[in-house]
Amino acid sequence: MRAHALLDAVLDADPSGSAGSALGGAVEAHAELAAITDGAVVGLIAPWEASGDWACDGTRSAVVALVNRTGARRSAAGALRRTGLDAASMPHVSAAAAAGWLPLSHLTLLTRARRPDVAEVFDRDEARLVALARTLSADALDQRLLAWRYGALAELERNEPDREPDHASDADTAKIVRAFAGRGLITLDLTPRSLAALVEAVEARIETWRRAGQLTEDTRTYQELVGAAVMDLIADGAVSSRRGQIRPLLIATARLTELFDRAQTPDADRAGWSARILGGGPIGSAALRELMEQANVALVITSDDGEPLHVGRAQRLATAAMLLALYARAGRGCEFPGCHASHHRSHAHHILWWEHGGGTGIHNLCLLCPHHHASIHKRGFTVTRGPTGLVFHRPDGTPITPRPFAQAA
């Protein structure tokens, strides 16, 4: 088979002994092999999702199952699923995928081009667009498909002239226009209140950078800083802390020995200290000070093995202190194997149910997202605490073994 020959060409290339032409040929062979395997996987997505295999371990979606089984980024897994499902209804794209003619990048671009407003033109032009895709790089194909889209809209007489903004409206409006080379233009028409909120948030973010010394040698223009601040606000969901809006919650966890270090206990007697941001990782003291100026702070003290030492008093419902301790112990969020739901989407579950005599203590609580909480209460899944941690079982009693990448998030 062609794929076997291509794989041999890649594996037989010797980085230290082969000529440059042989190494280049191996790179090209890899690209051709990737197109073959990409196309095969795209063809598998729709029937695999329909089979329901992805849900056998209690996983809440096919995308999460792809992440756990492949280690891919969630965005990449979601894009692969969408490409596979969309390609299943496109005969020429599906045929190109099965033949290994196009890599995943090209298949993705083609499936995204078939938007509802131009679907009828795409169906007519699909064979021609697939043939064109075989001759172009991904960037060139992206530009050609954008030009094709504009032509299709014109053919369908769906290019409507821009309307003048209605300045008397109480609604915010935004227009996003994709341009060439991946760039774009966003036009906003905001109410006075929304404009004030946006300006305040942007100026506050730039001022935070200035106070932290990040702009000392920065050569960007103010317009470039505004653009960077807007994207930074979008990335982390930050909001202004004025006008009574809710301040973000900062949860910093530290070992008891780390607190001793801050008390200047000699390094020879204590382990090195570090603070960690839940879901983020180690953080330096300067960054911690900056975050403490912007957020509310919750302190959870743990022993060296991660068990909470300060959690508050137990009662039937988990207290806020207990939830913080659970966040610190879980380290990420929902503790069901393979689940990537973050801590703010999870809540405390009694391992031995309350109605069965279970108490509300840290040892009898775990974090579960709504989907997996319902899986335990309504679908027959169970959880127990073993000597090395939580053990989850399927309804038939078999234990759920985490996938290779299930704990990566």
Please check whether residues 229 and 257 belong to one and the same domain.
no
Domain residues for 137? 2-155
Please check whether residues 181 and 299 belong to one and the same domain.
no
Please check whether residues 81 and 38 belong to one and the same domain.
yes
Asked, for residue 70, whether it belongs to a domain, the answer is: yes
Is residue 18 classed exposed, middle or buried when 0-12, 13-18 and 19+ CB atoms within 10 A define those classes?
Answer: middle
Residue 18 identity (one-letter amino acid): S
Asked, for residue 163, whether it belongs to a domain, the answer is: no
Please check whether residues 232 and 363 belong to one and the same domain.
no
Task: Find the helix or strand (DSSP H, E) in which 68 lies.
Answer: helix 62-70
Asked, for residue 85, whether it belongs to a domain, the answer is: yes
Considering 189, 209, 236, which residue would you say is the last residue of a domain? 236
pTM of the model: 0.57
C-alpha closest to that of 299 among 282, 320, 324, 277: 324
- Give pLDDT tens digits along the chain (409 positions): 788 888 888 888 888 877 888 888 889 999 999 999 999 999 999 999 999 988 888 888 899 889 888 888 888 999 999 999 999 999 999 999 999 999 999 999 999 999 998 999 999 999 999 999 999 999 899 989 989 998 998 898 876 555 565 666 678 888 887 776 668 888 888 888 888 888 888 988 888 888 777 787 778 888 999 998 898 888 765 444 344 444 455 666 666 556 666 666 666 554 444 556 555 566 665 565 555 545 555 555 555 655 554 443 345 677 777 788 788 877 778 889 888 787 777 888 889 887 788 877 778 889 998 888 888 988 889 999 888 888 999 999 999 887 765 544 3
Please check whether residues 201 and 109 belong to one and the same domain.
no
- What does the block give as tokens for 395? 């309804």
CA distance 52 to 49: 6
Asked, for residue 406, whether it belongs to a domain, the answer is: no
Location of structure tokens 């974090």: 367
Please check whether residues 327 and 384 belong to one and the same domain.
yes
Which residues are registered as beta bridge partners of 298? 251
Structural domain tally of the chain?
Answer: 3
Please check whether residues 151 and 13 belong to one and the same domain.
yes
